[in-house]
Structure 1
């Protein structure tokens, strides 16, 4: 029997693929066998890309992929391949770019039709089974696209070749290196601030995404230039997110985005990466405002990671589903009678503060929020503390509901973000338990996912994948350096150097030295090597690599690594600055490269040293901080005090907070 004539997903590691293992569709994983079958059968490929927490992916699955008649049609006309976008971000990047090039708006599920050799020629996103929502029915689409392919094969092949050439130029093309000046970064930061909603925070309009790279741009604009508008937009947005319905006020953690323009109604799925970025943003917001609101949100979100996202063998799960019992958000929303039954006499005050009414604020139910307190984070913190017992009671009741599904795969890059965020929070708040949490997960994942040849992208609890991506190395290097800043343990920069060596071996473009490919080279199931220059929800691979290697060069005083980073930045600038969108992560990384500063504090103890305490209270993503014990064999750091090092030289030591603050503002 030909492989493509039965469903092959039962052996998949991805929870998303396993959701489809019993579909009557003859789903294939993306591998050599499936691609070879398409060529041998001379059939187009029907490619469906989604992820476990995706609401509309579930809807399309229930309507079409579980339907026997639809499956018969798919099986007779196509080789059907199912991809988890989180497991194979390279495949998703390529075909999402293809859809955009066709003039269509992207999203998931991503539905693409490819020639038997994998070239895209038609695509869309969600399709209902029959015509509805103003969209053509999936059944009609299947027939019409396959008929066109059969009857106009030469034209379609020619168009597919042209589109493939366009994608090659867009995603893997060359450009003349460019010089990126501090003024370019400064100008971009000011433009970003003008895009923000002055009433509700976040980018103007709806839906509203947290957009971590843009928020970091604002924070850097304040630190670098004293831009008060950037600071205010940053604080307003983080406050609005922390108080809106997008935040889970009972269990902690952030939903992926809000469908409205006020941060009220979330798309209820919870992604690991959003929450890790949120922790870092709350650290920065707390350092500026000292408001307990941001401390509470950090504590709650890390608590959620420990309670609901920690996997038995170490590492954090990728996501929680938006749906439970077949309904989006059912696990999280409340009616007033439900709350009255649980809280009894304290209902009135809780309902008044958390926007709970008999009519409801969303589809007859209530999404808990404190949005009316956006202008006063300190008052919001008081309200949160006042209702702590009520929230505990509601959470205890909610635990008894049927929970959303969990995607338990462990992704190296997303876990790197989490470990870095927790380590930074541990250092900022002086939490030994958080330090142990971050350190423990890092060591376990290095043991399970790092081999002599690669860092694996996915660990399913039993085995690691046979491939990795550039983002995995960059994120784990950044995590290792955050742990170094927190613990002063040289184990971590040593591990970061090993990761950097493997990154170069597997991903560096040795032929032209233009940068690091997103994918490992020489893999037979990779349609195209790509740069991954532009941001999505997370900074691009190029941005993450530049930041990680720049900071690693500072940590290790590696002149060659500094030179490589400067060269890579110029190469990337030539490609990226031609784009209109997705530049924020790269410009943030370039800001780090331009700043290139290491602050070394020499003292008796990190726990008691006043200069290290001041440094910790003033976090700056452009800076690498190192604490050295007073007894050191480094001739540059014999005297106690704080040294600022840049461009391979260090300042004389300063002895007081005031002197340190002036030094950081003025530079060497």
Structure 2
């Protein structure tokens, strides 16, 4: 066993018995590199990553390859989910060095002072795919560094300057509202009219873009934004990216049609997608409802830790093959189903057609249920019933298969995304049992990741390694999740938690000189850069989320510190947003809020009378921030305590920005007050 044997990360533990002399990232490895003046080979991946497994089997488990690594480099293995700070820095370095996007596994060669001078992703063990063998590459890279140290130093200086420009923007003014229209136009240009989604294969959900479409269509009545959103969510629900048998979405589709996914399932996608689909289901979209129910069932069945928190991911591979757990053949399926079930399932899922994945069938909706029902002469409800029964039989049979590896880390940021998604789903569809799941997950996160007044990013049962410090995303997303819980059901303790998170953002992460938030806290380990990230990627940028939720909390509590911090963030990000609005959709939402915040309604009254008012407010077309505070609630800050409950009935306070109208006590009057805005 190498030095990874005591790691907290399941990904690092997968490499603990490699012949490579791996180190985890830390001072021991970095000091050795400096002492021996030896370059560092940095390998970044995660446990559910298919190509990470391929490179591990081909190279890291091979003694001859390991001998070259051990002789020429100090070898460091990093879990990108535990150390997103390192991943962000070195992914951007890869982009600058190679002029193309990175990915995982990320393979970076560093000088002893941690500055990268060559980077790539997967390298094969023999020359193929236009790539050199990994051993040949290592030899050439090591030799070049030894023979051209001055050239490497000049490149490193230039790279540091370029990274500094990326991570330390000079800032400017808050963009004009017109930049939102520019972003909307850019997004429309990339829209796939045939299959939904944006761009070509591989096709990712990009929840930040989908969330923005939902916001913009509801806020501004944008029918085209609604059409793009509906087409994309409908195509994803019908596609193989959605697990038609077990629920939950895979990370991305390798084709433009959403048919064949990369089979890993990540918690971070499924949280926002759950919220989006649930809110559509609440407005009568039955297709969306058929996504939400099995996704929550998947969470409870496969992703829930005994503490109530949620695990990180499921691997793409099982028994050494990608997708093996999920694919079928028609004979097996037909044997499991009744004749009536097979008649529907075979047509809907394409089992009566050609194989679509390496000689087998990965289920996706080939024909709509309504079309199949017409062809069989049955009504759509009956067809759906048969399809549901077929799915239940297949799920039961699939449970006997060898399961993909599950990464059982509890990540604060990813749990926050799922907590918010569950809270939104529970609120939209009036499902108190889902709200219980969300609240129990938040309790578990607070108990396990909040220690001595400090938040940590990750924990795993039985791990002995040090817990990594929490990042901007952990704090901002947990604040967003807390506000989602408060909108679903008031809890004064959660409000106190929200203010703790917001104050920590300002104290530990804000750039007090230029505005915006750094990705790491003030006392974080010194790296070659202190990143400040504004662009969205697979997740919304922490700065975009922070700017949104600080405004929401600032308006709720009439707290100017939070509102001013959001304004400084928008100003510092301003030139970047103006130049590339499509890459900053979460900041576009924050900008929209800055120029005109949605109506914020505080309801005060008996707990048993508040739900009827909340239900009416949920039916509003435009977004309304609603907080229903029972009359008996205590520990309220001044801004809420002064919004007193009446002796009988419910009183509604309608606020726009920091101005609140006179309270109303009649639901019709409340709707009228909202219409006036």
Interval of TM-score (by shorter of Structure 1 and Structure 2): over 0.9
Q: 1:377 to 1:348 in 2, by over 3 A?
A: closer
Matched residue SS, 1:314: coil
Is the contact between residue 237 and residue 291 of structure 2 (CA under 8 Å) also seen in structure 1? yes
What corresponds to 2:21 in structure 1? 26
Is the contact between residue 265 and residue 314 of structure 2 (CA under 8 Å) also seen in structure 1? yes
Q: Is residue 2:307 matched to residue 1:305?
A: no
Provide the C-alpha distance between the structure 2 equivalents of 1:397 and 1:247, rounded to a whole number of angstroms.
19
Provide the C-alpha distance between the structure 1 equivalents of 2:26 and 2:372, rounded to a whole number of angstroms.
51
What corresponds to 2:65 in structure 1? 70
Provide the C-alpha distance between the structure 2 equivalents of 1:361 and 1:664, rounded to a whole number of angstroms.
51
Report how far residue 602 of structure 1 moved.
Answer: 3.8
Could you say what the CA RMSD is over the residues aligned between the two structures, in angstroms? 2.4
Q: Is residue 2:516 matched to residue 1:515?
A: yes
Is the contact between residue 344 and residue 386 of structure 2 (CA under 8 Å) also seen in structure 1? no
Is the contact between residue 281 and residue 429 of structure 2 (CA under 8 Å) also seen in structure 1? no
Provide the C-alpha distance between the structure 2 equivalents of 1:660 and 1:284, rounded to a whole number of angstroms.
22
Q: Which has the higher contact order (CA 8 A, sep 6+)?
A: 2
Is the contact between residue 328 and residue 360 of structure 2 (CA under 8 Å) also seen in structure 1? yes
Provide the C-alpha distance between the structure 2 equivalents of 1:382 and 1:219, rounded to a whole number of angstroms.
31
Q: Is residue 2:643 matched to residue 1:649?
A: no
Is the contact between residue 595 and residue 623 of structure 1 (CA under 8 Å) also seen in structure 2? no
Provide the C-alpha distance between the structure 1 equivalents of 2:189 and 2:438, rounded to a whole number of angstroms.
36
Matched residue SS, 2:57: helix
Q: 1:574 to 1:382 in 2, by over 3 A?
A: farther
Provide the C-alpha distance between the structure 2 equivalents of 1:151 and 1:333, rounded to a whole number of angstroms.
51
Report how far residue 616 of structure 1 moved.
Answer: 2.5
Q: Is residue 2:111 matched to residue 1:105?
A: no
Matched residue SS, 1:61: helix
Provide the C-alpha distance between the structure 1 equivalents of 2:380 and 2:581, rounded to a whole number of angstroms.
38
Report how far residue 20 of structure 1 moved.
Answer: 0.5
Report how far residue 581 of structure 1 moved.
Answer: 5.3
1:138-177 pair list within 5 angstroms: 138-171=134-167, 173-177=168-172
What corresponds to 1:54 in structure 2? 49
What corresponds to 2:286 in structure 1? 292
What corresponds to 2:126 in structure 1? 130
Matched residue SS, 1:372: coil
Report how far residue 216 of structure 1 moved.
Answer: 1.5
- When the two structures are superposed, what TM-score results if normalisation uses the length of structure 1? 0.93
Report how far residue 196 of structure 1 moved.
Answer: 1.2
Report how far residue 358 of structure 1 moved.
Answer: 6.1
Q: Is residue 2:332 matched to residue 1:338?
A: yes
What corresponds to 1:235 in structure 2? 230
Is the contact between residue 349 and residue 363 of structure 2 (CA under 8 Å) also seen in structure 1? yes
What corresponds to 1:3 in structure 2? none
Is the contact between residue 186 and residue 221 of structure 1 (CA under 8 Å) also seen in structure 2? no
Report how far residue 169 of structure 1 moved.
Answer: 1.4
1:269-280 pair list within 5 angstroms: 269-280=264-275
Q: 1:618 to 1:20 in 2, by over 3 A?
A: farther
Is the contact between residue 180 and residue 573 of structure 1 (CA under 8 Å) also seen in structure 2? yes
Report how far residue 630 of structure 1 moved.
Answer: 5.8
Q: Once the two structures are superposed, what CA deviation does each residue of 1:574-593 show, in whole Å capped at 9, x if it has no partner?
A: 44434475211211222233
What corresponds to 1:589 in structure 2? 590
What corresponds to 2:539 in structure 1? 538
Q: 1:375 to 1:654 in 2, by over 3 A?
A: farther
Provide the C-alpha distance between the structure 1 equivalents of 2:222 and 2:371, rounded to a whole number of angstroms.
21
Moved more, 271-280 or 637-646: 637-646
Return 5+ residue gaps in structure 2 as ranges. Answer: 374-378, 634-639
Q: 1:614 to 1:628 in 2, by over 3 A?
A: same
Report how far residue 277 of structure 1 moved.
Answer: 1.2
What corresponds to 1:96 in structure 2? 91
Aligned length: 658
Report how far residue 642 of structure 1 moved.
Answer: 3.8
Report how far residue 88 of structure 1 moved.
Answer: 0.6
Q: Once the two structures are superposed, what CA deviation does each residue of 1:572-630 show, in whole Å capped at 9, x if it has no partner?
A: 2244434475211211222233333412234444666543212234486x642111346
Moved more, 347-356 or 607-616: 607-616
Report how far residue 375 of structure 1 moved.
Answer: 9.7
Report how far residue 187 of structure 1 moved.
Answer: 3.0
What corresponds to 1:320 in structure 2? 314
Is the contact between residue 293 and residue 377 of structure 1 (CA under 8 Å) also seen in structure 2? no
Matched residue SS, 2:419: helix
Matched residue SS, 1:517: coil
Is the contact between residue 240 and residue 374 of structure 1 (CA under 8 Å) also seen in structure 2? no
Is the contact between residue 50 and residue 108 of structure 1 (CA under 8 Å) also seen in structure 2? yes
